[in-house]
Amino acid sequence: MTTIQIQIEDEILREAEKALHSIGMDIQIAVNVFLRRVAIEKGLPMSMNISNSSSRVSESVLEYKDLFEEGSLLKSRSNNAITKKMAEEVWEAFMQYHKGLGEISRLSDDIAESTGMNRGSAFIYLNILANLVKGEANTRTMKMKDLEFYMEKIKEELGIEKYKLALKSLEISVPYWKEKLAGNFGDKIEVYCEKHSLTDIQ
């Protein structure tokens, strides 16, 4: 897998992120979609506009759902709930990744095959965990219950130093979540960090 760097105007990036968040995507996934379509069509693909309605995805986006491993990203926002078993399987896969025994894309495939979890959701969860233990900011989110489960796992199995990094990751992610996401996810994380920074780290 290759890493690429691109330059783009700040305002364009901000507007693109807002549009993508409304359909459950981010810049990385959108660039992957775009480049896959370029490869398939041997040229620039059609534009992928979103509907003005925040409650539904436009037809032009649905046209590209085949790129998401059985529509994983779209389905993860609707009728394929993430169960406790799936969350536990993600942790086991993450531990393999953390030990250098696999890469996130392949492990996401394994999780989807063994549990029925959407591949897109597994990929997002694994990336969030990777950022947590490195103390790096996240733009993606997960269910609060699952996040609390993983924070306990990090503390119990990876130790207090990794747990401190995970708290740092959450703290530096809060401004982005508050600005970019609808709802109160950022507020919940802020409260969580305040509580656990005081009670868990002595």
Give the model confidence (pLDDT) of 61-73 as tens digits. Answer: 443 444 444 334 4
The reported pLDDT for the residue numbered 63 is: 39
Distance, CA of 84 to CA of 87 (rounded, Å): 5
- Rg from Cα positions in the chain: 18
3-class secondary structure per residue, 124-139: HHHHHHHHHHHCCCCC
pLDDT in tens, 153-166: 999 999 999 999 99
Mean pLDDT of 72-89: 67
Torsion of CA 14, 18, 23, 27, to 10 degrees: 10
Above 70 in pLDDT, residue 119?
yes
DSSP string, 38-88: HHHHTS-----PPPS-TTS--HHHHTTGGGGTTTHHHHHTTT-PPPHHHHH
- How many Cα atoms sit within 13 Å of 77 on the Cβ side? 15
pLDDT in tens, 8-35: 888 888 888 888 876 767 888 888 878 8
List the structure tokens of 118: 């959407």
pTM: 0.62
Give the CA distances from residue 117 to residues 2, 58, 132, 173, 190, in Å, rounded to whole numbers and listed in that order.
26, 24, 21, 25, 28
- Residue among 135, 133, 138, 152 nearest 192 (CA): 152
Give the CA distances from residue 152 to residues 155, 157, 196, in Å, rounded to whole numbers and listed in that order.
5, 8, 11
- Residue among 157, 158, 169, 155 nearest 201 (CA): 155
